[in-house]
Structure 1
Amino acid sequence: MILSYKSHQPIEIKSGKISVIGTNSPEIYTELINGLQDFNDELTLTDDVYQSLEIKKFIDFDSVALLTHKLLEKYSKDVINAVVKSMTEESQNRVNDEIRQLYSVLQEALFMTDLPLEIQYDGELKRLLSYCHMKLAFNNSMKPYDIIINDLKIHLECDLKSVVCLNNVANYLSKAEFGDLLVEVQAMNLPLLLVEFTELKQCDFYQNAEGLFIDQDFVDWKL
C-alpha cells in the first residue's frame, strides 16, 4: 500500500516492515492522526498499482484500543470467526454435546414453573462464544510491547488485510523493545504503521524502520 499526505513524499507500507511518519509540527501531526481515522481528506491510500483504497477499511488506528485494553472488544467478531474456523470437527461435536446437556437441565428447571416455556440450542458456536465474554488474559506485568504484539497476532490469526497503525510508541517502548518489534513484524510478515510526534535528531530510535519525517517548515526528510 502507498500512503500519501498532501504534496509530501508518499510512504510505502510493506508487509514485514515498520513504516514511520514523524513530525515536530503540531499542525501536521493533528492532520495525520485525524486523516488516519478518516476525519479529514488530507491523506490518500492506494494499492501497489495506485488503485484507491478506503482508509477506514484498510488502516486500523489501534492506539486507543491498545491503551484501554479493548483490543478484543474491537476485533471480537474476527476472533470468534477465527476460533470457530480453527476448531476440529471433534471439538465442535464435544461442545455441542455438552451444551445440549446443559440445555436439558435448564429445560427441566423451566418445567418447575407454571408457564409453557421451552428453550432450544441452535448449534451456533459463534453466538455461544460471544455469550462467554471472551477476553484477552491481560495482567499487571504485561507491558505495552506485549499488547502491541497481541494486536499483530490478532491480525495474523484472523487473516485481516488491514494495517495496524499506532502513534507515539517511542513514549512507551524502549529502543531495545523497538528492535524486537522490528524482528517480530518481519517474522509475522505484517505491515505496521507508526505516526510519531518527535524531532529529526531523535529518529535514530526507529532504527531500520522506513519512512518520512516532515519538519515544521514542511520539508521532507527520508528516515
Structure 2
Amino acid sequence: MSFLLHQSRFFITVNHLRDLPATPQPEIAFAGRSNAGKSTAINILCNQKQLAFASKTPGRTQHINYFAVGPADAPVAHLVDLPGYGYAEVPGAAKAHWQALLSMYLQSRAQLRGLILMMDSRRPLTELDRLMIEWFAPTGKPIHTLLTKSDKLTRQESVNALRATQKGLAEYRDAGYQGELTAQLFSALKRVGLDEAHEHLERWLVAPTPDDVATA
C-alpha cells in the first residue's frame, strides 16, 4: 500500500460536518497535538514534501483536510488530517468548534477504518490524547499510535517511552476497549518506523468491514 500512499493528493477541506464528502472509499484519520509533528509524518508516509501543511500558528487550523490515495481517476482511499489540538492560545469558541467537529467525525463516520494517533515520544498520553481515545472508544475501531520525534530520545528513553505507552493503552483494553490498540516509535527526520506504519495503513485499508462481510 505504500506505493499507493505515494500517489496521494489534496482532495478537499471541510469546516463543518455537513460538508463531509459523500465518498464511499475507506478513510484513515490522523490526529495529534499541534506540536506532535502530524503534518510532517503524513508527508513522509506519502513520500511528499508539501502534501500536508503545518500552520505557522500551531493550533489555529480548525478544519479537516482530505487527501485522496491512489490513481487520480480512481482513488482507493482517503487520508483525513484532523485539526491539531492542545494549544492554550486557541480561543474558547475555536476549541468548542474543534471538539464538536472531531468527536462527531470520529464517532459517526462510517467510512473511517482506524485512527493514527500521534504523540510526542517525550510526552506520551497527555490528557488530551486520552480524551481522543475515549471519544473513539465507542466505535470499536483500531488505534495505532505513532510516538513521533523518537530521534530526540536515547535508546533507553525510547524503550521506556514505548513501554509506558503500551502500558497506558493496555489500561483501556482492560477496561473493555474493543478495538486494536498498538503503538510504535516513529521519526520522520530519521525515517524510523516507516515500514511498520505503512503495514498498519495497508492492513486497515484492505481489510473488509463488518458490512462487507454481511453482504458477501
Task: Give the TM-score normalised by the residue count of structure 1.
Answer: 0.33
Kindly indicate which of the two structures has a greater share of residues assigned to helix. Answer: 1
Task: Give the TM-score normalised by the residue count of structure 2.
Answer: 0.33
Bigger Cα Rg:
1
